[in-house]
Every structure is written in C-alpha cells, then in structure tokens.
Structure 1
Amino acid sequence: MYTSDGSIGCETGPEILAAAGSWIRSGIKNDSRHVLFKTVTLNADGEMLIETGIIEGRSDAGVLKYSGKYLVVWKKEDGVWKLFRDVVL
C-alpha cells in the first residue's frame, strides 16, 4: 500500500503500521468506525499524483464524529500506484 520510502504523518518504515493501527483503534473506541474519503482535487505529474480531499468519521448511527482535510501523494513504484506521503491536516 505504501512505497518503500513512504510515510504517514511523520512515521516511516515499520512505524507506518503502528500509526495505522492506532488510528483504527481510536476510531473503534470513539465510535467513528465509518470513514469516508472524498477526493476534492487530483493532479498528475508524470510519476506522481497529488490528491486533496475531505475525511469524515461517523458513528454506527450516522452521527458525524469528526471531519478534516487530507493530502496524499501517490508514487508509482514497480508499475503500481502506492502511497508516498499521507497526511491528515
């Protein structure tokens, strides 16, 4: 899913899995398991894609628990698009 040199927030390498796991556990604990990513912009530049969007977390009852913006840079690695930079703003 992530490039060999990718990062999520400030985490890189093996810490990416720990950061993702922490985010998932927090969503379960705070009853915001339903996450929606809405792409707002997508720009291509050769071997990179830059995506910005809105993220929303909702409870099982559909109540909005949080919302924010995100920035993702996709990079082609071995012919496959993977996450290179993944930041929630």
Structure 2
Amino acid sequence: MIQSRQVQLLFVLLLALLLGTGFMHGKSLEKDLDLVEERNEIFMETYKKLDPAGMSELYTADAKLLPPNSESVVGSDNLVSYWQAIMDTGISEIKLHTGDVERYGKALVEVSIAELHGEDGELVDKSKYIVIWKQERGTWKMYLDMFNSNMPVE
C-alpha cells in the first residue's frame, strides 16, 4: 500500500512538473514572438525613414545578409551600402508579417513574409524570409537574414 501511494505521489509530481514546463514554454514562445514583432516594428520604421545606417545597426557586428541573386553582404559599411541601394530602387516601405518564431538555445529563428511597396504604395514584391536573431550587448539583433521572392520570374 505504501509503495502504491509513493508511486501515485511521484506520478502527480511528474505530471505537475511536465505541465508546468509546458505552460512556461508556451509563455516563452509568446514572449519570443512579441520580442521579434517589436524588433520588426523598429525595422519597418527605420526603413520608412530611408535610413540605411539605421538599418545596418539592426544587425549584429558579425551579421550576414544573404539576398537572392547576389553575394552575401557582410560588415556594417556593406550593410549600409546594400540598404541604400535598395532604397534607391524606389522601394519606399517594407511591411513585415511575423510568422513563426522558435527558440533554439540562445538564438531565435523567425520564418515570415515581407511586402515591398513602391513610392505610390503599390505592391512591388512579396517575399519569404528567415532571420536568425541573437543578442548583442543585451539587444536582439539580426545575425543571419535570408530572403527570396514569391513573385514568378518574368
């Protein structure tokens, strides 16, 4: 009888531990999603100001931007040049729609959708992207940023 009671107590404790861990993990996921959405708002506001230096500051010092059909963009000066070139094409706004966010150790992985709009507000391109976020001096920044278009090739 004592063993049965101990087994029941152990089962209840393990169940409580598992449920507690699950609920805390769910809160962590919601917190991570909120964090990425907040950072994405800063990205959109910075781009809308047409501030290529500000865009560069959203990336870690060792970041890599992996755009389609071109070489990787590495380094702060190259990021500034890249974002200036994008702005020079007439893209006046980038709207990010945060999708999935998962935590892997000390990194966050985001898989989302972006819309690029021209000066007249028309949709110029729609793309999917993956960003790996990591903290740098207490601030979450983009470490790896890769995207490609959903639009058909003409």
TM bucket, shorter chain: 0.7 to 0.9
**Unmatched runs of 5 consecutive residues or more in structure 2:** 1-57, 67-71, 149-154
Residue identity in the other structure for 1:36: K
What is the percentage of aligned positions where both structures have the same residue?
Answer: 26
Equivalent residue, structure 2, for 1:5: 62
**Number of residues paired by the alignment?**
85
RMSD value over aligned CA atoms?
A: 1.5
In structure 2, the CA distance between the partners of 1:43 and 1:61, relative to structure 1 (3 Å rule), is: same
Q: Report which of the two structures shows the higher radius of gyration computed on alpha carbons.
A: 2
TM-score (ref. length: structure 2): 0.50
User: Which one scores higher on RCO, CA 8 angstroms, separation ≥ 6?
Assistant: 1
Residue identity in the other structure for 2:137: D
> Which has the larger share of helix?
2
Equivalent residue, structure 2, for 1:37: 96
TM-score (ref. length: structure 1): 0.82
**Unmatched runs of 5 consecutive residues or more in structure 1:** none
- Report runs of 4+ in structure 1 exceeding 3 Å deviation: 59-62
> Which has the larger share of strand?
1
